[in-house]
Amino acid sequence: MNVEDATIQVLPTGTVNQIAAGEVVERPASVVKELVENAVDAGAGLVRVEVTSDRRQVTVVRVVDDGVGMGRADAVLAFKEHATSKIREIEDLDRLHTLGFRGEALASIASVAEVTLVTKPRGRGVLVGTRVQVRGGTEPEVSEVGAPEGTSVEVKDLFFNTPARRKFLKTLHTELAHIHGVVEKTALAHPEVAFRLFHNGRERIATYAADDLRETAGALFGTDLTRALVQVGGGNRFVRVGGFVARPSHTRADQYQIFLSVNGRPVYSAGLVRAIKEGYGTLLPANRFPVAFLALTTEDGLVDANVHPTKRQVRFTHEREVYEAVTGAVRTALHGEDLLVGEQEAEVFTPAPHAPASLPPRTSSPAVPCPGVGESLAHYAKSDRRLRQTQLPLAGAERNRLPEVTVLGQVDATYIVGSTGGRTLVLIDQHAAHERILYEQVQAKQAGGQKTQELIVPVLITFSPAEVELAREALPVLAEEGFVVEEFGPSTFAVSAIPVVLGKLEEPEVIRDLVSALVREGPSDPVGRREAITRRVACRGAIKGGDPLTHEQMQRLVEQLAHTKNPYTCPHGRPTVILFSPDEMAAMFRRT
Ligand code: ADP
Ligand code: MG
């Protein structure tokens, strides 16, 4: 055969690497992913990701770790294609405990960018570190440098020699979002490692080495979410399932808050997502996705990570059994929880997060507290004072939107039970109903202009040092709304008068709440501000769920509700009244 005639050519290594890079290095986020994985594999306790961008694109990615580091020979070999310290033979894939194994990431990245690696082995008393620089797959430049133990890799000019690839880069915003995603996923797959992400010097993510996935989730997404998490634990012969899922009160429209890892590798799997949803069963509304942080662990040899070049997908040898274990573990976790109580409490009373929760925690049924006589008298008196604030019927408001209700009684010190015309059963949420009444009353008064009423005893409010400045700035706004507030001490302010619309709402606690909320929320537009005040007054001034009411008080409340313009919802849009017609009751008892 004449070689001269051949049209087939074996590609030079550089070109091979550039082609391979197409699979592994799709975008700046892929660089972050590969470097972060190497850092985790190197046993780092802290991984620091620094991203630099100009206004259009990511310009530099740098990942610094305190892992095992490398000696000079390894540092050079690391850039060779198919050079890896993680496997020796194909069987090693079955007992893989590292994220990497293909030995192509550094070679691929260096073929399409300029990479500078600085490293020094950990704990071996080596004095100098090694610096290796490769640009576009050319010969590495190697030198000695002073360096801390561990490794840092800096990547710049990504795709400088592959303009076609460069064109496909999305907007800066999208790239940054992908990078965030990579760091979040890796951090959640490795709660034992601390991660920090910086963009142009500003810290964006900080997780701390934790032994619990919930802590990492909290560092990433806030404690509001973590409070809703339920621990999952279970499994079978093939897999162990651990982690957390959120109560059904915290669902999402998409599946981006389902984080899965298999043996420490963050993965995506439509099958596992389905298995989790299955575990929720009917607790999950249609078209909604749960929030989940699950870590799966298998025995060696039961999972294949070599399915996809970026290793985002895995294959299980016993797929069905793994799915069953996940469904079962999620189901068990959710059914062990008193989900409804948790949700209801969160819904009914949500004190502003900064305000001290002045409401006593609501004791839920069936253990209805039966107050002693003295206590109940005090209760009735307080409810009476609150109810007296309301002076409906409003002039001109017709009483025809709510049918006439005969009050039968109260259940759980929260709901008024009545009937209309002796035929329809009526349930009224006393707090929501009173909120509606107060809201409309305050609105009507506001329409008549702001007037101020003096308080007999001024109410003192102490702010934190950070808030004092805000409070000073808010003084004119407060004055506009009818409050008279003056500085009283270094961090104390005195409220000596309040808007007339607050009526007899003289409880210091309520006034304190209102003013602090106004100060903290800052001056918004006057209309929005007034609306916020109105709602807050209505909410704080209204009788609560858990307040026992006398028959007469209930009757008065229902009467006033009938005179509102919108008797059926509270200012937050929740129902105030629920009616059960004879037909509905018959259907419930299957009489039809
Ligand atoms: P892989 O991770 O698949 O082995 P890479 O190209 O990502 O392939 O890395 C090649 C080798 O370089 C690794 O096997 C490891 O020995 C070494 N290496 C890469 N990054 C680091 C790091 N941050 N710390 C220590 N060693 C590293
Ligand atoms: Mg790697």
Tens-place pLDDT, residues 275-302: 999 998 877 877 788 999 999 998 877 7
Q: If DSSP codes are grouped into helix, strand and coil, which group holds residue 316?
A: strand
Which pLDDT band, with edges at 50, 70 and 90, does 258 fall under?
very high
| Domain residue ranges in the chain | 13-206, 213-334, 362-592
The DSSP line for 224-278 is: HHHTTEEEEEEE-SSEEEEEEEE-TTS-BSSSTTEEEEETTEEE--HHHHHHHHH
Q: Are 493 and 487 in contact (CB under 8 A)?
A: yes
Atom of ligand 1 nearest to the CA of 98: 2
* Residue among 23, 38, 70 to mutate when testing ligand 1 (max atoms within 8 A of CB): 38
Which secondary structure element, helix H or strand E, spans residue 195, and what is its range? strand 194-199
Query: Which residue's C-alpha comes closest to atom 14 of ligand 1?
Result: 84
Q: How far apart are CA 267 and CA 269, in angstroms?
A: 6
pTM over 0.85: no
Q: How far apart are CA 80 and CA 88, in angstroms?
A: 15
Q: Which two tokens stand for residue 432?
A: 């929501």
| pLDDT > 70? residue 362 | no
Q: How far apart are CA 452 and CA 464, in angstroms?
A: 27
Q: If DSSP codes are grouped into helix, strand and coil, which group holds residue 4?
A: helix
Q: If DSSP codes are grouped into helix, strand and coil, which group holds residue 9?
A: coil
Atom of ligand 1 nearest to the CA of 108: 6
Q: Is the CB of 108 under 6 A from ligand 1?
A: no
Measure 35 CA to ligand 1 centroid, in angstroms: 8
Which pLDDT band, with edges at 50, 70 and 90, does 156 fall under?
very high
Q: If DSSP codes are grouped into helix, strand and coil, which group holds residue 57?
A: coil
Q: Is the CB of 493 under 6 A from ligand 1?
A: no
Query: Which residue's C-alpha comes closest to atom 19 of ligand 1?
Result: 38
Which pLDDT band, with edges at 50, 70 and 90, does 121 fall under?
very high
Beta-carbon contacts of 503 under 8 Å, excluding residues fewer than 6 positions away, are: 389, 391, 441, 541
Measure 83 CA to ligand 1 centroid, in angstroms: 8
Measure 84 CA to ligand 1 centroid, in angstroms: 6
Q: Is the CB of 85 under 6 A from ligand 1?
A: yes
Which pLDDT band, with edges at 50, 70 and 90, does 482 fall under?
confident
CA 506 to chain centre: 37
What pLDDT, in 10s, does the model give residues 123-150? 888 889 999 999 998 999 999 999 999 9
CA distances from 495 to 210, 502, 506, 519 (A): 46, 13, 11, 13
Q: Is the CB of 213 under 6 A from ligand 1?
A: no
Cis omega (within 30 of 0) for bond into 393: yes
| pLDDT > 60? residue 395 | no
CA distances from 500 to 391, 455, 475 (A): 13, 11, 18
Q: How far apart are CA 368 and CA 351, in angstroms?
A: 22
Q: Which two tokens stand for residue 46?
A: 């802290």
Q: Is the CB of 441 under 6 A from ligand 1?
A: no
Q: Which two tokens stand for residue 339?
A: 């989900």
Taking the CA of 109 as reference, the closest ligand is 1
Measure 57 CA to ligand 1 centroid, in angstroms: 27
For 7, other C-beta atoms within 10 Å of its C-beta total: 4
Spatial strand order of the sheet with 46-53 comes to: 141-145, 129-135, 114-120, 150-156, 58-65, 46-53, 194-199, 202-206
Query: Which residue's C-alpha comes closest to atom 23 of ligand 1?
Result: 39
Q: Is the CB of 70 under 6 A from ligand 1?
A: yes
pLDDT at 489: 77
Q: How far apart are CA 23 and CA 308, in angstroms?
A: 9
Measure 443 CA to ligand 2 centroid, in angstroms: 64
Q: How far apart are CA 133 and CA 286, in angstroms?
A: 53
Query: Which residue's C-alpha comes closest to atom 16 of ligand 1?
Result: 85
Atom of ligand 1 nearest to the CA of 34: 7
Taking the CA of 83 as reference, the closest ligand is 1
For 572, other C-beta atoms within 10 Å of its C-beta total: 14
| pLDDT > 50? residue 444 | yes
In percent, the amount of the chain with pLDDT more than 90 equals 34
Q: Is the CB of 310 under 6 A from ligand 1?
A: no
Measure 36 CA to ligand 2 centroid, in angstroms: 8
Measure 205 CA to ligand 2 centroid, in angstroms: 22
Q: Which two tokens stand for residue 84?
A: 């890896």
* Residue among 80, 84, 98 to mutate when testing ligand 1 (max atoms within 8 A of CB): 84
Q: If DSSP codes are grouped into helix, strand and coil, which group holds residue 63?
A: strand
Q: Which residues of 83-116 are buried (b: 16+ CB within 10 A; e: fewer)?
A: ebbbbeeeeebeebebbbbbbbbbbbbbbbbbbb
Q: Is the CB of 30 under 6 A from ligand 1?
A: no
Q: Which two tokens stand for residue 379?
A: 């209760």
What pLDDT, in 10s, does the model give residues 166-183? 776 777 888 888 899 999
Taking the CA of 20 as reference, the closest ligand is 1
Query: Which residue's C-alpha comes closest to atom 25 of ligand 1?
Result: 69
Measure 354 CA to ligand 1 centroid, in angstroms: 47
What pLDDT, in 10s, does the model give residues 72-103? 999 999 998 777 877 777 777 676 677 877 77
pLDDT at 386: 67
| pLDDT > 80? residue 201 | yes
pLDDT at 380: 67
What interhelical angle do 526-541 and 430-447 show, nearest 10? 140
pLDDT at 538: 79
Taking the CA of 153 as reference, the closest ligand is 1
Q: Which residues of 297-315 are buried (b: 16+ CB within 10 A; e: fewer)?
A: ebeeebbebeeeeebeebe
* Residue among 79, 106, 130, 310 to mutate when testing ligand 1 (max atoms within 8 A of CB): 106
Cis omega (within 30 of 0) for bond into 12: no
Q: Is the CB of 43 under 6 A from ligand 1?
A: no
Measure 335 CA to ligand 1 centroid, in angstroms: 44
Measure 235 CA to ligand 2 centroid, in angstroms: 30
| pLDDT > 80? residue 468 | no
At the top level of CATH, the class of 362-592 is alpha beta
Q: How far apart are CA 324 and CA 579, in angstroms?
A: 42
To the question of domain 213-334 being in CATH 3.30.230.10, the answer is yes
Q: What are the start-end ranges of the H helices in 481-588? A: 508-521, 526-541, 551-562, 582-588
Q: If DSSP codes are grouped into helix, strand and coil, which group holds residue 419?
A: strand
Taking the CA of 78 as reference, the closest ligand is 1
Q: Is the CB of 77 under 6 A from ligand 1?
A: no
Q: Are 330 and 280 in contact (CB under 8 A)?
A: yes
Q: Are 178 and 27 in contact (CB under 8 A)?
A: yes
**For 13-206, CATH number?**
3.30.565.10
Do 13-206 and 362-592 share a fold? no
The average confidence (pLDDT) of the chain is: 80
Taking the CA of 40 as reference, the closest ligand is 1
What pLDDT, in 10s, does the model give residues 307-323? 666 667 778 888 899 99
Q: How far apart are CA 581 and CA 246, in angstroms?
A: 36
Q: Is the CB of 508 under 6 A from ligand 1?
A: no
Q: If DSSP codes are grouped into helix, strand and coil, which group holds residue 142?
A: strand
User: In 3D, which of 150, 151, 149, 110 has the Cα closest to residue 133?
Assistant: 110
pLDDT at 100: 76
Q: Are 104 and 19 in contact (CB under 8 A)?
A: no
Which secondary structure element, helix H or strand E, spans residue 218, and what is its range? helix 213-221
Q: Is the CB of 101 under 6 A from ligand 1?
A: yes
Helix, strand, coil content of the chain in percent (nearest 5): 40, 25, 40
Q: Is the CB of 309 under 6 A from ligand 1?
A: no
